[in-house]
A and B are shown apart, each in its own frame.
Chain A
């Protein structure tokens, strides 16, 4: 039997790989997709259970997923096993690398917050004089954002604010604000902080994943083949042309090594897996920048207040419930002098309970307190921007290998004084707003979870116009190898405060359309 040949090899099946597959196959280009894990059968692989039916009564197997704070015993099997797939970091600088290798990757589980980056993120050097510009602007990406927002059915409210670019929303209707949200909006507005609403991908059937919104379209063309349980360990290069020509991969179960050839390689394994694969392959790093500028967002700063008149179950009708969203409001002009650069968004939700951790009490006294405060709470959290810095990087640790003998990543990422000052400002601002609203602040923290926790890691193969300072060009092609394209978050130059998914999808769409055109013209 002759082995079927494909034009493009796509590594990874999440949002970015799914979009590449959709765009390329719809252009008539044959694609092979390799995914490191299996396909989940949502009927077969999931079932309702009680915590006491689980082996560890809901605690989870101790030590199994020490870096995945999102894990619990119910969902433990959806995450990548850290023993099979280890990585290293300095003991004093933990990094939470949260991975999914099921078909569809992390697109199966994302929170669906859907924002565009603005030119505050694309062109920071021009706008506020801090950091590096992307080689593209919002105007370049806007048409792709629009198409992605339609596919993912993004809801949101148009505002016309430059730091919060509007999208092509499929739904802009929101229920009227409750009295607590109105009160909060009033005090925030007085301080010059603009208040909007969440922007959210509604998807279809409760899912906004590549497996239901992208890959079915690609498969329908008859131009896509998907292989599961295929762990790619190295990109191969044609010695004569210097171009990528295929990949070695291992069967997840047996370890059998395979090789596949392709005219073009599209990497969509997620920022850090893509970078690991390139570093292990020893390619596309003439700039020496690969692996550097690792960045994500800060999650964890939180303030909770209780509304006195809502305690003891006595909240008047329409007082509690609802949410408010404040996109970045710091450092939007050079006049705004702070002890930090960049900014954060603030999100507020009304109607929650108090946590047991808020009170140094126990037994009946604690329970009475929790019962009294139940439903009376308003909480604020942030998505805080981290500044991309060269020293935050990943490299290969040849001393440690995964279950398939592939060297792992060593990850070093630390926050600077800027991040500390930013999160302190965020906590103080939220506290002040709650005080102004007349509410009792019952808990406040300016601490954040370790880097990586947001699951928004980006930047380790940044794009740029200069091949000496960037890995990819503005079309996400490697400067060193035009037929190798990185369509996941590795190409980012800045992370912003926004969930990166809409930007990853739009960049993948844009890169794939350009790639398809170039393949048609024979220039790739």
Chain B
């Protein structure tokens, strides 16, 4: 609902200015209907009726294009295993986390892109070497054989290990959890967050700062 209201405000904004300007012009002439001060005051654009618009994720899906088919299938498998549905809350697959991460990584710095691509390739390679199939085709126990040695304990999220595969596993695990906990699907399934101390976003809502008087460059 909030998203809808935000979009409503965004769409209403450009319509207000011309209307307000028109009203100002009309005020220079005698009016036969002077008893509508709210509409004549450009400082009160909220008086103008807003139209209902629909949240984009309710009518369309993210189109993944960044990862190759093999890489993306490995990411989907990881998502299902690392963040499954629990206690009535959606898992990463339900939250479309792999599709979102495909987008997020596509607009990320090259270093992050390489980390992901090499990491997913590494999982597929390990699956082929050990079980003669790609990562997506593994049984849960086989997946565990590959990923458990790659998991590490750390204090700060940014304290990443030097080993590239362990680094990838720590990063993708964090990202899948965040993408899941911050999804619309998660928010619609009640307020209970993941437990965990660093849950800045996991509560779902926060005070958002709009750009303050941004510089518009031509």
User: What is the size category of the interface that chain B forms with chain A?
Assistant: 35 or more
Q: Indicate if the CB atoms of A53 and B104 lie closer than 8 Å.
A: no
| Set A54, A360, A367, A403: member contacting B153, Cβ < 8 A | A360
Q: List residues 74-124 of chain B with CB under 8 A from any CB of chain A.
A: 81-84, 86-87, 100, 104, 107-109, 112
| A236 on the B face (CB < 8 A) | no
* B168 CB, nearest partner CB in chain A, Å: 14
Q: Does A371 sit within 8 A of B, measured CB to CB?
A: yes
Query: Which of B86, B108, B196 touches A353 (beta carbons < 8 Å)?
Result: B196
B207: interface (CB < 8 Å): yes
Q: Are B208 and A443 in contact (CB under 8 A)?
A: no
**B205, A49: Cβ atoms under 8 Å?**
yes
Shortest Cβ gap from B172 to chain A (Å): 11
State the Cβ distance, A157 to closest chain B Cβ, in Å: 27
A73 to B177, CA, bound (A): 16
Q: Which residues of B contact A52 (CB under 8 A)?
A: 3, 57, 182-184, 186-187, 204
CA distance A50 to B208 in the complex (A): 9
If A356-B196, A447-B155 touch, whether A38 touches B212 (CB-CB below 8 Å) is yes
A390 at the interface (CB under 8 A from B): no
Contact in complex: B86, A377 (CB < 8 Å):
no
Decide if B157 is an interface residue (CB 8 Å cutoff). yes
Question: Is B151 among interface residues, defined by CB-CB distance under 8 A?
Answer: yes
The reply on B158 being an interface residue by CB < 8 A is yes
Of the listed stretches A39-47, A131-139, A240-248, A287-295, name the one at the interface; the rest are far from the partner chain.
A39-47
Q: Is the CB of A357 within 8 A of B154?
A: yes
Closest CB-CB distance, B113 to chain A, in whole Å? 10
For residue B104, which residue of chain A has the nearest CB? Answer: A59
- Check if A252 is an interface residue, CB within 8 A of chain B: yes
CA distance A361 to B205 in the complex (A): 27
In the bound complex, residues from chain A placing their C-beta under 8 Å from that of B147 are: 362
Contact check, A48 vs B205: say whether CB atoms are below 8 A apart.
Answer: yes
Do B100 and A49 touch (CB < 8 A)? no
Contact in complex: B209, A45 (CB < 8 Å): yes
A397 contacts partner chain B, Cβ-Cβ < 8 Å: no
In the complex, B206 has a CB within 8 A of chain A:
yes
B residues near A421, Cβ cutoff 8 Å: none
Would you call A51 and B204 a contact (CB within 8 A)? yes
In the bound complex, do residue A48 and residue B206 qualify as a contact, i.e. CB atoms below 8 Å apart? yes
Cα(A440)–Cα(B134), bound, Å: 40
- B131 interface hit (Cβ, 8 Å): no
A360 to B152, Cβ gap below 8 A?
A: yes
B172-218 residues with Cβ-Cβ distance < 8 A to A are 173-175, 177-179, 181-184, 186-187, 194-198, 200-201, 204-213, 215-216
Beta-carbon contact of B155 and A445 below 8 Å: yes
CB neighbours (8 Å) of B159 from chain A are 445, 447
Q: What is the size category of the interface that chain A forms with chain B?
A: 35 or more
| B155/A358 in contact, CB under 8 A | yes
Q: Give the CA-CA distance A363 to B177 in the complex, in Å.
A: 10
Report the minimum CB–CB distance from A448 to chain B (whole Å): 10
**Whole-angstrom CA separation of A360 from B194 in the bound complex:** 16
**Cβ proximity bits A71-93 to B, threshold 8 Å, 1 near / 0 not:** 01111111000001000000000
| Interfacial chain B residues near A229, Cβ < 8 Å | 213
Query: Which of A57, A73, A354, A377 has the most C-beta atoms of chain B within 10 angstroms of its own C-beta?
Result: A57
Which of B6, B173, B182 interacts with A57 by CB under 8 Å? B182
Q: A62-B108, A360-B153 are in contact. Are A76 and B209 (CB under 8 A)?
A: yes
Is residue A253 contacting chain B, with contact meaning CB distance below 8 A? Answer: yes
Q: Does A63 belong to the interface (CB within 8 Å)? A: yes
The 8 closest A-B pairs by CB, nearest first: A51-B182, A38-B213, A360-B151, A58-B201, A445-B155, A62-B108, A49-B208, A74-B206
Interface residues, chain B, with chain A CB atoms under 8 Å away? 2-3, 6, 57, 81-84, 86-87, 100, 104, 107-109, 112, 147-148, 151-159, 170, 173-175, 177-179, 181-184, 186-187, 194-198, 200-201, 204-213, 215-216
User: What is A's interface to B at a CB cutoff of 8 Å?
Assistant: 37-38, 40, 44-54, 56-59, 61-63, 69, 72-78, 84, 102, 229, 252-253, 300, 302, 304, 352-364, 367, 370-371, 373-374, 377, 379, 403, 443-445, 447, 449
